[in-house]
Structure 1
Amino acid sequence: MGAQVIQEIVPPNYIRTVTFGGNELRSGIPVVRLGEPLHLEFDDIIGDEADYYYTIEHYNYDWTPSQLVKAEYLQGFDNIRLFNYENSYNTLQLYSHYSLRIPNEDTRGLKVSGNYMLNIFNANRELVFSRKFIVYESLAQVEVEVKRARDVKLIHSRQVVNFRVDSPDFILKNPDETVSAVILQNYNSKTGIYNIKPQYTVGNELIYRYDELTSFWAGNEYLDFDSKDLRAATASIGRIEVRDLYHHFLNRDRIRAFDPYTYNPDINGGFVVRTLQGQNPDIESEYVWTHFALETYEPLEGGELHIYGGFNNFELDESTHLEYNSRTGRYETARLFKQGFYNYKYVLLRKDGILDEGFISGNFVNTENIYTVLIYYRNLGARYDRIIGTGSATSVNISN
């Protein structure tokens, strides 16, 4: 019986606005170089200054537990309480804002590259939530390019990632057995392509020129809203009400799948917390009930509609689920967001469990996406998978 593949634990409703990354905080899975710092921040909207603890675990390429003991991959100690937290100031919604930086005086750093999980526990040692992150070494050069699909039926809707790996100073022995590649679109680990083997080997250079195997649906640019000013309507926020908290009603959205592609700059599903009502957005940003409305005129058959984005690490749950309102002819929902700039889109979760990102938004080959390639290597007899290189490219300059 094989080892169990680990999955991230989704935060409960009272844990909000989780940001996690390296020197640059971005949505999705963090990809950091060995030796670079990691930052985690989140809010507890119960606001009772609860105690939280963290641990770090190392995993194999396939997210099964690695054979390494903690002393082999961690300098210092984990299972330490988060000491850095502040309470919200001058907000209707009380919350406590927690932050963690690694390295710190207890956890001095990581020793090896590979897949990792950061776990957050409460005072009762119950796992509250967990987040994956990736640590790589720069031992190989990875050149990435984005191309159109060779299949004429998909040439306008899919993007293909080709890449090559060059390691002049690091010999890759038996690459068909020891090397595996992963491709991520917009740092979303849930839609990544895994276990890609070299197509050709030329000397010490590995060539990956697949078509169908390394292709992604192109999607469409994300929609967005900006709630940095609580009291001002904008191009996306049509109406504001004040009840127990502020309520922002977004202007209705439409199905875009059949419209011509229109370039609209986005941040690939990400978000940025910010406010005009205070100096420190971490503790002075308000929480706002944000109301979404997608006009369809009649209910859709065959699945559930959700709002989707990095605001909750691309998870689908009750807070993202839209219900059809027969009176308005729209799918509607309301979700609590911390003030800021947010990307989002509407997606269909089909009855068979498959996520269709393009059902509402469409798939257009000119859509700007960022692709990240990770190269895993385990030499024969080694006890863990290293990540020896990474490369990235955007589809802005997509070619045939």
Structure 2
Amino acid sequence: MNPYFCEMLKTFLSFFFLITLEVFAQNIKSVQLRPLQENNFSTIVPLGTVLELSFDDLDADSKDYAYRIEHMTHDWKKSRLLSSQFIDGFDENTIINVTNSFNTFQSYTHYSVRIPNVNTIITKSGNYLLSVLNDNDEVLFTRKFVLYENAATIGVQVSRSRNAKTVNTQQTVEFTVNHPNLRINNPSQEVNVVLLKNENWNEKITDLQPTFFKPNQLKYTYTNKTNFWGGNEYLNFDSKSIRNKSLNVVKIEMKDIFHHYLYPYTYNPFLTYRFNPDINGQFVIRTLEGADANTEADYAMMHFTLYADKPFEGKEVFIYGAFNNFSVDDATRMDYDFEDNSYKAAILFKQGFYNYTFATRDNYGNVNTKDITGTFFQTENQYTVITYFKPFGGLYDRVIGVGTTFFDQNR
């Protein structure tokens, strides 16, 4: 066979499989990985905690999906451990809890699995990557989670920035690692810490060294290195009623499915801070039309409008939140309407209460959540410190402790 033809065929097949995988991924909606407790959105939990993974397939047929669990290093590279060293059972299994939607305009199939289960018991702390695979062993999506031990106590505090240039726009995080029951000989090489804002892995600070050493204690007190942009409170909407207007829904139309139109947002470069309680970008699936939101909540096309006198030069605009794992992609990109002087987007959401904001992406791929809604030191954010320990000669990064705090301007 002609070598040129072979190369063209190979390129075509690769492109075809890529497009096919992207279509599969677009049909996967409402991915959640959470503890069983109500209104707990954290995937950073004590070792032994039960997490439930759930998602919908809009193809509404029965596919064979499997999950795979991998142990990772502190910087999310594959660890040296064999699966038998961190799991009792199997690291890959078929998802067998499958149910069809009931009495919904948008049909879908709901998948769920709890970890640990009789086939998969995780025995070690650390970072974990959970992947969902189709029957061709292709990864459709991944989610991160962290299992920790209570071997150290982490004290965290957050305050208004002490830098005069950013005093009105940033927040400073300080923390202390207390380890009376652990012998740490060389903290600079044996200990790694990750500082997370709102448990969003796109907003993190790493590569921090202790600024002070005390017996059984490490202190991290920086002036600028642990500063985060305060950002702004998330916007929200509630579609728990599919036929009637609810929070921030201004109009409803019935087509093939229900279309909900949200109150428009107007860009204001001189915006000042206003307190608005949020859940830091997360979402809750719920419905008033059924008893089981997993299978009786319907899908609605949510219409977003952002008024701006002109397009933002050199930047794309996206709808941003935990509903798609804080990522920006074609499905969440807004298009500018020159006749209406506004950005618009229509995105399919399962019924529920959602936090979201607007994010921009420049020509270099940098994502920014403060360009449109601003950044203020008063914004209430959650900060989490994850502490990893790998002694000299150790095989993996243990998570020895986690500390969490919220910024409160009145404290």
TM-score range, shorter chain: over 0.9
Superposition deviation, residue 352 in structure 1: 2.0
2:200 counterpart of 1:193: no
Superposition deviation, residue 22 in structure 1: 2.4
Superposition deviation, residue 31 in structure 1: 0.5
Structure 1 CA distance for aligned equivalents of residues 271 and 370 of structure 2: 12
Map residues 100-179 of structure 1 onto 2, 5 A cutoff: 100-107=113-120, 109-179=121-191
Superposition deviation, residue 256 in structure 1: 4.7
Structure 2 CA distance for aligned equivalents of residues 203 and 180 of structure 1: 18
Which amino acid in the other structure matches residue 68 of structure 2?
Answer: T
Which amino acid in the other structure matches residue 81 of structure 2?
Answer: L
Q: Which residue of structure 1 aligns with residue 407 of structure 2?
A: 395
| 8 A Cα contact 2:378 2:409, kept in partner | no
Structure 2 CA distance for aligned equivalents of residues 146 and 249 of structure 1: 38
Q: Which residue of structure 2 aligns with residue 36 of structure 1?
A: 49
Map residues 217-366 of structure 1 onto 2, 5 A cutoff: 217-366=229-378
Q: Which residue of structure 2 aligns with residue 4 of structure 1?
A: none
Aligned-residue sequence identity (percent) comes to 41
| 1:91 match: secondary structure | coil
| Runs of 4+ with deviation above 6 angstroms | 25-29
Counterpart of 1:77 (choices 90, 99, 103) is 90
Deviations 1:203-228 (A, max 9, x none): 11100001211111000000000000
| 8 A Cα contact 1:288 1:339, kept in partner | yes
* Alpha-carbon distance change, 235 to 16 in structure 1, aligned in 2, over 3 angstroms: closer
| 8 A Cα contact 2:238 2:247, kept in partner | no
Structure 2 CA distance for aligned equivalents of residues 324 and 199 of structure 1: 48
Could you state the TM-score of these two structures normalised by the residue count of structure 1? 0.94
Structure 2 CA distance for aligned equivalents of residues 231 and 297 of structure 1: 33
Superposition deviation, residue 195 in structure 1: 2.1
| 1:360 match: secondary structure | coil
Alpha-carbon RMSD: 1.6
Could you state the TM-score of these two structures normalised by the residue count of structure 2? 0.92
| 8 A Cα contact 2:240 2:246, kept in partner | no
* Alpha-carbon distance change, 373 to 24 in structure 1, aligned in 2, over 3 angstroms: farther
| 8 A Cα contact 1:27 1:187, kept in partner | no
Aligned residues: 390
Unmatched runs of 5 consecutive residues or more in structure 1: 1-8
Superposition deviation, residue 54 in structure 1: 1.2
Superposition deviation, residue 260 in structure 1: 1.7
Structure 2 CA distance for aligned equivalents of residues 257 and 368 of structure 1: 21
| 8 A Cα contact 2:193 2:387, kept in partner | yes
Structure 1 CA distance for aligned equivalents of residues 49 and 149 of structure 2: 11
| 8 A Cα contact 1:41 1:97, kept in partner | yes
Which amino acid in the other structure matches residue 150 of structure 2?
Answer: S
| 2:203 match: secondary structure | strand
Superposition deviation, residue 26 in structure 1: 6.7
| 8 A Cα contact 1:27 1:270, kept in partner | no
Structure 2 CA distance for aligned equivalents of residues 314 and 27 of structure 1: 17
Which amino acid in the other structure matches residue 283 of structure 2?
Answer: F
| 8 A Cα contact 2:314 2:362, kept in partner | yes
Superposition deviation, residue 348 in structure 1: 1.2
